[in-house]
Structure 1
Amino acid sequence: MLEKYHTRSVAIYLLTWFLLALLYNGMAQLMLMLPVVLFFNYRLDRLRSLKKMVSYIIPLALLIVAINALFNQNGELLLAAVRIPGYTIAIYRETIVFGLAMTIKLVLILAIFTVFNQLIPIEKVMDIFGRFSGPAILMVAISARLTPELAVRARSISQVQRSRGVAVRGGGQAQRIRKLGPLVFNLLRASLQTALQMAEAMQARGYGNGRRSIYCQEKWGTRDWVLVLLTTLVLGLAVAGCYTGEGLQNCSPFQQAGLPARWREVLLLLFLSLPSLTGSGLSLRKV
């Protein structure tokens, strides 16, 4: 549970970090953002969620760097030239730097979504939209809530089938597809049963019968306005700096990756980092 900040203000704060991660291509700006976001993850769960994705992040990062170095021929400083029959592959410093920047951008996005998942559980997604959350938001929340349960049910059904001597693996492709039939059928039956029980519970509680009552424990306070104004100001200045800053508007992404961060950008990111570093309100309450 959040102690001081409203769920909506925290969502806006994390959305600002996400937009900045998408907006910046420079290595310096991304390197300034990375320690803050990683430290935020460390304070929440000691980086346990990110460690589960390391086996996927490292191969994908190497693939991104390799593809940029081998297939992008935009650059000024030539590092090496790989000659193959009939073609020469030039490897430039800018392409490698840009590949590393895209790798850091990927880590930032995953880390921000991890923070969002921990600070704002799926049960509180509707609190972001408040009274404006309609059936579509409710459907998204229910679907996201039931997806992990569906995966658990699939593993349980698969284990029961293996205990009965029905192994999905092994044999040809057609044979494996036929063995998946009972698993899919049982999973569909369990999903329909869960959906029916949820529909009966919603009907028993009067969902859809007139205007629903609203009980909101969280209150939007002054600190939430301050946080929203802070994030809006930082995001607006960052967007203005990317389009009106000296030299940035005329540079390609490969050239942007090697540019140093200006003092204004350093101060903006430092200013935005204060709520997450101090932990004055972005902490969890154990219930």
Structure 2
Amino acid sequence: MSHTAHIRSHRKPRRSASTIAMRAGVAGGVLSTLAVAGASGSANAAEPVTQTLELPTLTADVATQVAQSADATQLAAANYELQAERDAAAANAAKQAKADLAEAKKKAAEAKKKAEEAARKEAAARASRAAARTTLSASVGSTGASVSTSTSSATGSAATVLAFAKAQIGKSYVLGASGPNAWDCSGLVQAAFKQVGIDLPRVSQDQSTAGTQVSLSNLQPGDILYWGSAGSGAYHVAIYAGDGMFVGAQNPSTGIVEKPLSYDPPTGAVRVL
């Protein structure tokens, strides 16, 4: 036996022809598959790929919702605009109300001031009349010389004037009235003297200076008596009737009356007859 008989050979064992043929067939199939795949890949690379995106289509319900949302938005905008107009109107109304209130307060203050001034003047006039009444009554009571109390009767024009004036006794006193059913003081005096063709002014202030001033101690029937100061200060007139009496439209509570001079002593007198 050779000394190398048990040494394994380093040569690779020979493959059989069938094995080699099978492997060659497999390899050929793989290569052909890769070739087909490569050709297919080249073909796909040569043609661009187009991708189609399908957008959602608005259905009837969605369209209705969109329309309703638009309407709601428009309505909300209209409501905001209307509210803004109302707020502006309210602000203007408040501003106007504030201005009106200020104007009303101003007018009220002016009216109050005028009323207080008129009240002061009236109080002063009453005080003046009261003082004159006290003085005249005292004079008449003591001597009877301050005022004429003659018993002479009116004659001529004076009688006509007094007849008309006395015919009005019992009628009403109404400020500004000129008859025939109501009179104020100067309206009665003017109408009485018109009976004898004498055209006197309409108001007391002018009638108190229409004739010649005479003293109260020298009165004659038909003289015009006045209260207050002659001219702009005169506030009442009447007609002296003789015997210490006068006829006149006194006030709303008494109407047209005949009273003694001591009832309401006059300040002065004028003579036009």
Structure with greater Cα Rg:
2
Which structure dedicates a bigger proportion of its chain to helix?
A: 1
Identify, as 1 or 2, the structure richer in strand: 2
Structure number with the bigger relative contact order (C-alpha 8 A, sep ≥ 6) is: 1
